[in-house]
Amino acid sequence: MTERLEDIAVKMVADEKGLLAADESTSTIKKRFDTINLESTETSRRDYREMLFRTDAAMRNCISGVILYEETLFQKAADGTPFVDLIKAAGSLAGIKVDIGAKPMAGHPGETVTEGLDGLRERLANYYKAGARFAKWRGVIAINTAENLPTLSSVKANSQALARYAALCQEAGIVPIVEPEVLMDGKPGDHSIDVCAAVTENVLRIVFNDLYDARVKLEGMILKPNMIIDGKNARKASIEEVAEKTVRVLKATVPAAVPGIAFLSGGQSTEEATAHLSAMVAGYDMPWKLTYSYGRALQETALKAWAGRPENVAAGQRAFQHRAEMNTLAAKGTWKRDLEKAA
């Protein structure tokens, strides 16, 4: 049976479930493990991710899909069960990060272009065989108002790459998550929420034009955007303002044919990321499903509780389950701050 792209995409955002972004590259997971003084090895990465994927209630009730890094897609749990099988057994989908990173863009100081298109058709065929049914590619757009960034050329280069990636995914029977991230935690991180809104609106317009030109089927993709929020070193917008401006920009740029929008957390605190999503879902009528595709905002507390120790696996799983449940409530629009305290 061949699965239709549309059905996979709908499943990724159905029932107020969301995505667990566990696709940290080897260099990024090392940075995360550094915060708990744990050496990053193939085994420690396996143990950490096994803890998450074996959190049965979270996986079954909250997580529709897991974005994996290539190593994890082909990795096995300690007892020899392939991770992909563990994920499927919980009723969740396996996905794969396919870009090979944001690299400095020639002639564009302070900007990057994401690479990974060469050989992608062949890699996608292998990932499909290994069980991946969706993929992710992250383009990175940095704001620096003093330097007049982003440049149009960097936005266009990243957008073109996203569109070419998305078309190749669909050809392979894989749903593309299209992630054009306008950074909140870049340097200097002092931009206002209105600058973020203007830049993001422009980026999304260009991205959807390029997706259209590349003949990407909008019904068979998921958008993973940043929220409209002020820079990390200038945070002051209220929850309501973030929700209102994010919904306005998305409505102005994202066609209703797209089944779902799954936000990145981008350096927001765990609770902020939850509160913002809940405020959007509770406050506005929208043509798409809104949910989460969080990395740090789903994992931070679990990583700390685990701290790399086998005796803390249950504590790490409780922390992950709690964040997954809070975010699934947010996707319903019914999260309340007291629920955090109660836990």
* Chain positions contacting ligand 13P, by CB under 6 A: 21, 138, 179, 264-266, 294-297
Which of 69/83 has CB closer to ligand 13P? 69
Which of 116/309 has CB closer to ligand 13P? 116
CA dist 263 and 59 (Å) reads 18
| Nearest in space to 132 (alpha carbons), one of 169, 162, 161, 167 | 169
Taking the complex as a whole, how short is the minimal distance between the CB of residue 1 and ligand 13P, in angstroms?
29
Which of 225/266 has CB closer to ligand 13P? 266
Taking the complex as a whole, how short is the minimal distance between the CB of residue 78 and ligand 13P, in angstroms?
25
Is 311 assigned a catalytic role? no
Catalytic residue among 70, 179, 181, 201: 179
Write phi, then psi, for 290 (nearest 5 degrees).
-115, 130
Report residue 186 as tokens. Answer: 């870049």
| Nearest in space to 137 (alpha carbons), one of 175, 112, 165, 109 | 165
Catalytic residue among 11, 224, 232, 289: 224
Taking the complex as a whole, how short is the minimal distance between the CB of residue 137 and ligand 13P, in angstroms?
9
**Is there a contact between 229 and 268 (Cβ–Cβ < 8 Å)?**
yes
102 DSSP 8-state letter: E
Q: Which residue is nearest to ligand 13P (CB)?
A: 295
Which of 138/232 has CB closer to ligand 13P? 138
CA dist 61 and 78 (Å) reads 24
Taking the complex as a whole, how short is the minimal distance between the CB of residue 99 and ligand 13P, in angstroms?
9
Taking the complex as a whole, how short is the minimal distance between the CB of residue 181 and ligand 13P, in angstroms?
6
**Is there a contact between 179 and 138 (Cβ–Cβ < 8 Å)?**
yes
Write phi, then psi, for 78 (nearest 5 degrees).
-55, -35
Which of 2/320 has CB closer to ligand 13P? 320
H or E element at residue 9? helix 5-12
343 DSSP 8-state letter: -
CA dist 107 and 60 (Å) reads 47
Is 244 assigned a catalytic role? no
Give the active site residues: 179, 224
